Structure 1
Amino acid sequence: MLSLRSQMVRSLTVLFAACAAWGGGSAQPQGVWAQNPPGQAGPPGQGAAPRMVDVLIGFDQPPGAAQRDLVRGRGGEIRRSFWLVPAVAARIPETAVQALANARGVTVVEPDGEFHAVDDQQSPPPLTEQQIAAELSYGWGVGHIGAGPLHAMGKLGASVRVAVLDTGIKSHVELGIAGGGNFTDVGPAHDYLDRHGHGTHVAGTIAAFRNGFGVVGVAPAVELYGLKVLRDNGSGQFSFMISALEWCVLNGIDVTNHSYSSGSNPGSLMQQAFDAAYHDFGIVHVAAAGNAGNAGGNNDTVQWPARYASVVAVAATNQNDSRASFSSSGPAVEVSAPGVSIFSTYIDGLWVQMSGTSMASPHVAGVAALLVAEGVVDPDAIRFVIGATAKPLGSTNRFGAGLVQAFDAVALVSDVADPPPGADEPTDPEPEDPPPGDDGPVDPEPEPENPPPGRGNGRGNGKK
């Protein structure tokens, strides 16, 4: 009978082989073979170069010189070193996988695969001026969950730090970007400029200004941070996410939004990173459940990271509170939110409609931010309030607790009067012609050198 470690090594080898067979399929993790694909020779005179693979290597202690030497001694290159989890991201010869997995002090070797942005419309067409003028009908989601009366009461999420882990955020007349960074392998660390559009759209649903035109976000006064973890093509490696989560801890982020997914489990190290940020530093993670559902919504297709226990998995609904046909379903679905034909900010100063659980997730992230602003800082408590006040819609596998309710959630934890009739409509008046967007990036805040042992939430209450 094979030992547990031998079984793990065999499974890992099979998984690497499967990644190679996937090739360029957009729906599956890509980029595991980092250089020299099968059959490609190395430099002249050296014969065939070893096939190199990107991996995450876990250790039984924080990685130091000895651990780095171990990887380099097997022909590997250290790409990133982490402290939120005891691990490194490395590029190693495929032939070294088994030796490293069997090495003393190594707990796991896992593929450093990829997440992908979750949306149905990768390149949405810009809306016409007439459509932009009809913002109240296109920007339906924020009003539908009851955020309007909260805005009228001045409950806008001020001073709460929300990070959008996505393709970055591009400057827009509707968005105020407090800072951020680039965690991909392309471009300088300070360049979190969105050249894809996905991240800017997500950011608008959370934090678009209440300024009289365009759209309005669920929590329009939050401190918004753009963390670029997906390249301009919408893909990003698992290691990028761990680096970004470390940045969130160091910079006192309260809520993170993750509108990306992987159809395969990224592994134990990715889960440990989300768990540590949640349990040890009190960060609320909200994520798209995925767009892998079937018409009947009777399968178990919630994707990662939404599938992790430390992450709120958000399904998508339409204006009739029906489940979006693409929305992933299963026991991990925690709550639902509007995700069909969502009108929000976009690159180049535009506003566009997009559909997907990517569009649903930021509605819930915004509600979480409103709760943090009310002093509810424990992640478990925030999730309880969101679930307890959701509007039941049917099967929990399809809708979770139901449609998120911003007003009811805040009312449960603070003194607010019942809203007057019609107060749940979007709060922005019809717009004049919007000015063009500002293309310039915002300089990120400097990152502390050393990780903290824990942090407070800036309101005098330390988070667990």
Structure 2
Amino acid sequence: MKRNRLLALAFPIMMLMTVASCTKDDKILRVRDGVLNPQKHQDRGFLIIAKEGAKLEGITESLSKLRVKNFKLKSANQELGLIRVQTPDPTFPEKARQIPDVQSVAVDVVLNWRLPEKTFRTNRPVDKLANGKSSNPLATNPFSALQWGLQSVKAPQAWAKGYRGRGAKVAVLDGGFLLENPEIKPNIIRTKNFIEGEEVQYHGIEGFSHGTHVAGTIAALDDNTGVVGVAPEAKLILVKVLDDAGSGPFSGIIDGIFYAAKNGADVANMSLGGELPRKTYTDDNGTPDDPSDDYVVQYDRDVKDLIIAINRATIYATLHGTTLIAAAGNDAYDYDTEKRFITYPAAALGVISISSNGPLGWGINPDTTLYRPSIFTNYGKNFISYGAPGGNYDFPLNTSIVTVGGITYYEYVFNFIFNIGFWDEATNEYSYGWSAGTSMAAPHASAVVALLYGKYPKINPILVELILRKSSNDYGAPGRDPFFGNGQINAGKAVSY
């Protein structure tokens, strides 16, 4: 039987395209079906949730005495009351639940993330300027002419008032990062890796570091070259919670949230999401030909317990002053009616869930509206907190050739989010490109929150939410609506409070 495959990063993969900026005669350099790498076999993980106030030492001692196969104690977090273990033995959960101070046991499901549906690389290396001139008088970075997202969230208005994120710290929970990319390197103050056998530095075969694109959207330097982040003076804490192939255990997300809060992050951006099923399914532990280690994951027990575990982390972070931002997901699901599953961490307690919107035809008409709900975004009046720019497209795709900011390309690509994140490991050359998804919308929102922390260093998540609600633009249906939630994020108005 097949392992239940839970989504992680916020876009259903259909195809990855890597291309050079083109003329009418240029061709796509590489087109590859977006197939996920097979999940490496490892013993199943479990999260033990301790009762309130219980001492974990006693529980771990009792766990070590259980007669289960290949038992490994991986970590224990007293502040969250969580213990992480590994064992292929399907009898372990029931045995562990008999320990007096154990509240519940949850399967530590593995998230299989997916790259954005369409990703495009330019042939402009990071160390070279574009031929175009920035249309933004407050940002002298040439490629900012391609960053319509800055205008969407009114970043220049916030900059004009003197707020650029100075003093704010933003944690980015993602896959691997391009740590030497000069657009973000000076702003990186701390890194952490929660993926065994890998390092924080990205080495994926795709050549596209999703986490670097996200980090650049937040805090790329304002240095007269390339792109600029919404909060270019904010500092970055880069936390690797997914491997370079895109997978990671649910506990890695929990560890990342806790780490961000413990290390002083004002904001934690999570451009990732797992669809937790509202049903019972069988986990084969990565060994489909061996039914002896199969485990039936029950929604009313295992899945709900996993939600309890992540809620402990999100509540902890919120109470310790870290504002949590998460991508809403990109399957165009209406979560006001969808009953099969729900996306986490966007649905977790204390998390601000961000939908995506963007223009159509911006490469031809830069005055077109920037606020069309994206064709792919998940939505729901009770699920979405705010909207932010994440890119857009429609069918049929407009493949006419246009030039914007010194780059010639297909028109529809300019409706995506432009930033860093592309890397040729063989030549060690960094380049720019486009990506689309709620993964790109979330960092715009996180960066606006960073501007607030830059203005008010002692602000807390409750006040952040209050300011965002008062300052957001009410697009869509009047009042709270399924696509914009409380409204579109507006940096210029937010820093005016």
Distance 2:107 2:130 in 1: 44
Deviation of residue 195 (structure 1)? 3.1
The residue number in structure 2 matching 1:339 is: 390
Tell whether the 8 Å contact from 1:393 to 1:402 is kept in structure 2 after alignment. Answer: yes
Match of residue 150, structure 2, among 120, 138, 142: 142
Q: Mapping of 1:23-422 within 5 angstroms?
A: 23=3, 25=5, 27=7, 52-60=43-51, 61-74=53-66, 75=68, 76-92=71-87, 93-117=89-113, 119-121=115-117, 124-129=119-124, 133=131, 135-170=143-178, 171-175=180-184, 176-187=187-198, 191-196=199-204, 197-264=209-276, 266-279=306-319, 281-294=320-333, 299-300=337-338, 303-319=343-359, 320=369, 321-330=371-380, 331-340=382-391, 341-348=416-423, 349-375=430-456, 377-395=459-477, 396-411=481-496, 413=497
Q: Alpha carbons of 1:254 and 1:201: their partners in 2 closer, same or farther (altered >3 Å)?
A: same
State the AA in 1 paired with 2:385.
E
Distance 1:344 1:212 in 2: 15
Tell whether the 8 Å contact from 1:22 to 1:28 is kept in structure 2 after alignment. Answer: no
Deviation of residue 116 (structure 1)? 4.7
Structure 2, unpaired ranges of 5+ = 10-35, 133-142, 277-302, 360-368, 392-415, 424-429
Tell whether the 8 Å contact from 2:121 to 2:422 is kept in structure 1 after alignment. Answer: no
Q: Alpha carbons of 1:231 and 1:70: their partners in 2 closer, same or farther (altered >3 Å)?
A: same
Deviation of residue 243 (structure 1)? 2.1
Deviation of residue 63 (structure 1)? 4.8
Distance 1:133 1:82 in 2: 52
The residue number in structure 1 matching 2:404 is: none
**Could you list the per-position Cα deviations for residues 226-281 of structure 1 after superposition, in whole angstroms to 9, with x for gaps in the alignment?**
100110012211211222223223321111000000100642111111111112x0
Deviation of residue 79 (structure 1)? 1.1
Distance 1:215 1:34 in 2: 37
Distance 2:160 2:265 in 1: 26
Deviation of residue 361 (structure 1)? 0.2
Q: Alpha carbons of 1:62 and 1:177: their partners in 2 closer, same or farther (altered >3 Å)?
A: farther
Tell whether the 8 Å contact from 1:119 to 1:291 is kept in structure 2 after alignment. Answer: no
State the AA in 2 paired with 1:185.
E
SS at match of 2:122: coil
Tell whether the 8 Å contact from 1:80 to 1:90 is kept in structure 2 after alignment. Answer: yes
State the AA in 2 paired with 1:57.
I
Q: Alpha carbons of 1:117 and 1:153: their partners in 2 closer, same or farther (altered >3 Å)?
A: farther
Deviation of residue 309 (structure 1)? 2.8
Q: Alpha carbons of 1:63 and 1:240: their partners in 2 closer, same or farther (altered >3 Å)?
A: farther
State the AA in 2 paired with 1:238.
F
Q: Alpha carbons of 1:81 and 1:397: their partners in 2 closer, same or farther (altered >3 Å)?
A: same
State the AA in 2 paired with 1:383.
E
Distance 2:55 2:244 in 1: 31
Structure 1, unpaired ranges of 5+ = 1-20, 37-51, 414-464
**Could you list the per-position Cα deviations for residues 78-99 of structure 1 after superposition, in whole angstroms to 9, with x for gaps in the alignment?**
1121133111111131112211
Deviation of residue 387 (structure 1)? 1.8
Q: Alpha carbons of 1:401 and 1:64: their partners in 2 closer, same or farther (altered >3 Å)?
A: closer
SS at match of 1:180: strand
TM-score by length of 1: 0.74
Distance 2:8 2:189 in 1: 33
TM-score by length of 2: 0.69
Tell whether the 8 Å contact from 1:305 to 1:311 is kept in structure 2 after alignment. Answer: yes
Distance 2:154 2:271 in 1: 22
Q: Mapping of 1:2-17 within 5 angstroms?
A: none
**Could you list the per-position Cα deviations for residues 190-218 of structure 1 after superposition, in whole angstroms to 9, with x for gaps in the alignment?**
x3213340100000110011112211111
Q: How many residues align?
A: 371
Q: Alpha carbons of 1:299 and 1:67: their partners in 2 closer, same or farther (altered >3 Å)?
A: same
**Could you list the per-position Cα deviations for residues 392-432 of structure 1 after superposition, in whole angstroms to 9, with x for gaps in the alignment?**
12241221112110101111x2xxxxxxxxxxxxxxxxxxx
Tell whether the 8 Å contact from 2:46 to 2:105 is kept in structure 1 after alignment. Answer: yes
SS at match of 1:69: helix
Deviation of residue 133 (structure 1)? 4.6
SS at match of 2:196: coil
Distance 2:193 2:55 in 1: 23
SS at match of 2:462: helix
State the AA in 1 paired with 2:322.
I
Q: Alpha carbons of 1:112 and 1:63: their partners in 2 closer, same or farther (altered >3 Å)?
A: farther
Deviation of residue 305 (structure 1)? 0.4
The residue number in structure 2 matching 1:451 is: none
Distance 1:66 1:297 in 2: 41
- Which range moves more in the overlay, 65-74 or 311-320? 65-74
**Could you list the per-position Cα deviations for residues 51-76 of structure 1 after superposition, in whole angstroms to 9, with x for gaps in the alignment?**
x5211001124553321122222232
Larger proportion of helix: 1
